[in-house]
């Protein structure tokens, strides 16, 4: 089902997840273990990431189809403009259409984490162009990314909000980058309303699983980690299990606060870890009002 229709028809908030396509045999086993758990959880949709420069193109496509055919997890395929020609994007979207995939997350893409970090601009330089292309040419339901604290490349928060509003006038919904202050999300939605945009914005939630991972993800995304969260987690830096437990509690508390505020759903960045995601679901399922 298309995500915009799913939101309209839902009697409560959605619960969705993000998955990474595997790159190694070890990560493939980890994903298989996670999927065996997720197949028994009431998940509304699952988005599948796309590596920088299309580095996981085939793996992403294969996982999208697998989720749709084997696990009935209503996949949302990530796709980036970076490093792609219009012909390549048309071919990728055509494959999805042929397999009955209806949902897409349209992204500009990011520079590779490793190497020179050179960013190869595609034939479409902006995510909004991909969103328009996917909707007009393939009748897909399209989501875009939102940054509660502003995109790290934007010159100001005001300009970033205007850019997001422009994307959402084309797209059907947005999913945010992770954040840890509910006020940041609520301000984002309020700013969009003042710009005349009321499309659904689904908050992205990430439970920190280690201090190094949290720092790395924050650096890559440009997300600010509040001092209160750092102070809460830092004492467990050398105790992996305790850190994971505390990080999960942070994610649960944020999810509950947002659900009480009436968000359209919560989107969990799983990092392919089933146990943490399951803990969050069990804690918030009573607030999903299904």
Where in the sequence numbering do the catalytic residues fall? 18
The pair of structure tokens assigned to 241 is 């299990």
Beta bridge partners of 266: 15
The pair of structure tokens assigned to 111 is 């520079």
Phi and psi dihedrals of 128, rounded to 5? -65, -30
CA distance 110 to 121: 10
CA distance 237 to 211: 6
Give the distance from CA 71 to its chain's centroid: 19
155, 207, 154, 202: which is closest to 174 by C-alpha?
202
Residues 45, 74 contacting (CB under 8 angstroms): yes
- CA atoms in the 13 A half-sphere facing the CB of 35: 23
Beta bridge partners of 77: 48, 104
The pair of structure tokens assigned to 7 is 């939101």
CA distance 110 to 174: 18
SS3 89: helix
The pair of structure tokens assigned to 275 is 């146990």
């Amino acid at each position: 089902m298309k995500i915009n229709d799913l939101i309209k028809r839902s009697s409560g908030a959605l619960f969705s997840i993000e998955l990474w396509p595997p790159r190694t045999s070890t990560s493939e086993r980890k994903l298989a273990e996670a999927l065996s758990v997720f197949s028994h959880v009431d998940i509304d949709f699952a988005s599948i990431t796309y590596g920088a420069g299309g580095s996981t193109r085939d793996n992403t496509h294969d996982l999208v189809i697998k989720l749709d055919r084997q696990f009935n997890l209503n996949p949302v395929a990530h796709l980036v403009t970076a490093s792609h020609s219009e012909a390549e994007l048309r071919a990728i979207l055509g494959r999805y259409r042929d397999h009955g995939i209806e949902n897409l997350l349209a992204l500009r893409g990011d520079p590779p984490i490793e190497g020179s970090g050179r960013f190869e601009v595609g034939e479409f330089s902006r995510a909004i162009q991909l969103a328009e292309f996917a909707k007009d040419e393939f009748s897909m339901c399209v989501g875009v990314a939102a940054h509660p604290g502003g995109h790290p490349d934007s010159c100001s928060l005001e300009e970033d909000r205007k850019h997001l509003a422009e994307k959402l006038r084309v797209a059907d919904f947005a999913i945010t980058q992770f954040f840890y202050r509910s006020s940041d999300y609520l301000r984002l939605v309020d700013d969009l309303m003042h710009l005349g945009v009321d499309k659904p914005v689904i908050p992205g939630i990430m439970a920190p699983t280690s201090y190094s991972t949290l720092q790395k993800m924050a650096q890559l995304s440009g997300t600010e980690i509040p001092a209160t969260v750092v102070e809460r987690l830092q004492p467990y830096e050398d105790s992996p299990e305790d850190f994971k437990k505390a990080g999960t509690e942070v994610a649960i508390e944020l999810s509950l606060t947002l659900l009480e505020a009436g968000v359209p759903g919560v989107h969990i960045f799983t990092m392919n870890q089933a146990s943490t995601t399951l803990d969050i679901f069990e804690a918030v399922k009573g607030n999903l009002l299904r």
